[in-house]
Amino acid sequence: MEAENRDYKYFMQDTGSIYLGAKLDYAEILQDKMINFKYKSIVEHYIFKDTDPETTLESQLYYMTKEQFSYRTYEQLKAKVKISILEDKKTLFGKRKTGYATKTMPLAAFVDINLAQKKARGVVIQELALSKLALMAFVV
């Protein structure tokens, strides 16, 4: 595993969500024993309809469109995307400063940002978060 990717290849969960690091590819997700079996089943049955197993979450989310079947699947799972994005900020003395801000947004809002804007604003995808309640209600 490359050193720069290690920090973004993880699986975590809390009482309401599961979190997947954006550098994970789907082949790694399917091999990881810690990752929820139901999510793996969803990947195999639904996400793979339009996604290659070597695709990373980062790549898929960055180029995702609302027409894709995987988008509709992730919408059912109440997916949110954690990103870093360049923003202008006002400093204490009224000057403008450009810097990265971390935001978590619903997948629909992220997909609405067009590719040119993502590139211009230096978007870096950090994480995919899925609702455990939506995962539990999803019928495979």
- What tokens were used for 132? 């455990």
Residues contacting 126, CB < 8 A, separation 6+ = 8, 21, 22, 82, 83, 84, 102
Q: Report the predicted TM-score, pTM, of the whole model to 2 decimal places.
A: 0.89
Q: Count Cβ atoms within 10 A of the Cβ of residue 74 and give its class: 0-12 exposed, 13-18 middle, 19 or more buried.
A: buried
pLDDT at 1: 45
pLDDT tens, N- to C-terminus, the chain (140 residues): 455 567 789 999 999 999 999 999 999 999 999 999 999 999 999 999 999 999 999 999 999 999 999 999 999 999 999 999 999 887 777 778 888 999 999 999 999 999 999 999 999 999 999 999 999 999 98
Q: Could you give all domains of the chain from N- to C-terminal order, each with its CATH number?
A: 3-129 (3.30.465.10)
Question: What is the widest separation between alpha-carbon atoms in the chain?
Answer: 55
pLDDT at 5: 65
DSSP-derived secondary structure for 41-53 = HHHHHTGGGS--T
